Amino acid sequence: MLTVARRFLSAHETPQIAQAFSLLSTRHFLLSAKTAGVGFGMYGTGDVESDAGWVKYTTQLRSDLNITTEPLDSIIAILGTLANHNVCIGTFWTKIFQDIDQKISSEKVKLSDIIELVQVCNKVDYRSSMAISKLLGMLLDNETVWTLNPSDLASATTVVANSMTQNRLLFSEIGNRVCLEIDDFTNPDLISIMVSFSKVNLMNSEMFSALLRRLIDEDLSLDDRVLVGHVLSSVRFRSDTFFKHLCSDLITSPGGVSPGVFASVGMSMKRLKMDSGNTQWWSKEDDFKSLVDRVSTNLVPSQIERMNAKELANCIQLIGGKNLRMRTCNAVMERMQYLLTKDPLGRSHIHLASLMEGFARGVSSEKEIGVHVDHTRWVAEWLCGNVYVLPVHDVVSINRAIAKLGFKDHNYHKIWIPYYLERLDTLVKDDITLISDNYNAIGMSDTLMGGRHFFYKLGKRFQELTVEANGDKEVNTQKKYRNLLRRLG
């Protein structure tokens, strides 16, 4: 990669790039980083030469930047500039945080600096255990949760949640303060705190009840109400009153509402099992069907080209790929390809598994496949080059979906066997079931799979998880293996 970078710098050097390296030598690090951003552009957009240039630049930056003597706020500003250009180069962040972790563990730092530092880490999907630990300690010490102004508390909560840190004591304190001082918080702050609780999968019934009593009577925008509905479904907090009013306003809307909005509300209702059963008070099944109809009717290319990845995934999850024409399916996939390659900061990849699951759901024959094979092949190729940005569960889900959609290249699916075996301890029962379905669907022989040891190890892992779930109950391993995981063919 560095060889490519040197060729790039010598053959394609622009004034900005030359100036960025020159500024490093004079220790004008922040200005250098900003200039490099102009010269190289966004990292990870598919421009190999630009990415190689970033690798060369960050290597030089790490060599020249003295973390020990540089003020922490200056370091954060420099790293923040890189994060804003999506410079997700793992080796750079790992090595530079070895020095930063030592610095923040030995020096007195401000809460605002630690919050900004963790925020930078969140942008590039890097986790600094030291920075997060420092942040949690500072928030919990000296009743900081109760002394921060409401807006700052909401921002700090968002940063902690985006780092996927589930600290029950901290979130309990935050929930207690919101309940006691709810009138001091603005609506955006309250919604932000709700979102943060849902991200770390924490439920505070008292707080959510208080928030809904406040928000139901407020004149919220449609986007905010849809977001609240999504949060409620994420934490499995059911509020028929909230969804009844939301559905009524959506269904009677004059037009101009994106199908993604209807799909989001429909998926929220589905997760809360509010998609069936009419009552005298609310015909929720009829409202749910109306939402689905609006999505099916309005999911057209002119709308699709304006939608984000989450909206696309919700639409396909709600109505299923087999119920769509190939023209619509291809338009959705073309939009997703654009978002994955041209909008790296949009984090579209986190919705790819959900989208592909929706396309594959209910498909039982080739005639029901709406996605063209070229698109599934593209997803397979993209996955190979970007596997590091996805959790194992998403990789498992995508591979199973593209197999159901007709992409059954044995050589492709074979390369994932070592990947799964290396991460065997991280697989859960649902993952193992999906992997089993994947390889049974494509009909790979034991010879191509390298013998039966792959299914044997999956079965053994499944049994271990079953024993853990059942506590100390004795499990008949051989019988459970046959019942729970079976190799076909």
Summarize pLDDT for 285-330 with one digit per residue, the tens.
Answer: 999 999 999 999 999 999 999 999 999 999 999 988 777 788 888 8
Summarize pLDDT for 65-82 with one digit per residue, the tens.
Answer: 999 999 999 999 999 999
Tell me whether residue 296 is in a domain: no
pLDDT band at 252 (very low <50, low <70, confident <90, very high): confident
380 burial (CB, 10 Å; 0-12 / 13-18 / 19+) is middle
Answer positive or negative: Cα dihedral of 176, 179, 181, 186: positive
| pLDDT at site 364 | 63
Under a CB-based contact definition with an 8 Å cutoff, are residues 134 and 151 in contact?
no
CA distance 72 to 83: 16
Tell me whether residue 321 is in a domain: no
Under a CB-based contact definition with an 8 Å cutoff, are residues 368 and 322 in contact?
yes
Mean pLDDT of 201-213: 94
263 burial (CB, 10 Å; 0-12 / 13-18 / 19+) is buried
Is pLDDT above 90 for 256?
no
Tell me whether residue 181 is in a domain: no
Strand, helix or coil for residue 349: helix
CA distance 303 to 306: 6
Mean pLDDT of 163-170: 92
CA distance 376 to 382: 10
The structure tokens listed for 407 are 């992409």
Answer positive or negative: Cα dihedral of 362, 366, 369, 372: positive
Summarize pLDDT for 5-55 with one digit per residue, the tens.
Answer: 444 444 456 788 889 999 998 999 999 999 999 999 988 777 788 889 999
CA distance 235 to 147: 28
Is pLDDT above 50 for 426?
yes
Summarize pLDDT for 338-388 with one digit per residue, the tens.
Answer: 999 887 777 899 999 999 999 988 676 666 676 788 899 999 999 998 888
CA distance 421 to 436: 13
Q: What is the DSSP string of 26-46?
A: TT-HHHHHHHHHHHH--TTSS
pLDDT band at 485 (very low <50, low <70, confident <90, very high): low
One-letter amino acid for residue 105 of the chain: S
Tell me whether residue 34 is in a domain: yes
| pLDDT at site 479 | 47
The structure tokens listed for 86 are 């999506």
pTM of the entire predicted model: 0.81
pLDDT band at 170 (very low <50, low <70, confident <90, very high): very high
Q: What is the DSSP letter of 259?
A: H
CA distance 433 to 454: 13
Tell me whether residue 111 is in a domain: yes
Q: What is the DSSP letter of 389?
A: G
Under a CB-based contact definition with an 8 Å cutoff, are residues 308 and 300 in contact?
no
2 is in which domain, residue-wise?
1-147
| Max CA distance (Å), the chain | 75
Helix (H) or strand (E) holding 284: helix 284-298
Tell me whether residue 393 is in a domain: no
| pLDDT at site 368 | 62
Tell me whether residue 23 is in a domain: yes
- What is the tally of structural domains in the chain? 1
Tell me whether residue 307 is in a domain: no
How remote is the C-alpha of 171 from its chain's centroid? 21
pLDDT band at 146 (very low <50, low <70, confident <90, very high): very high
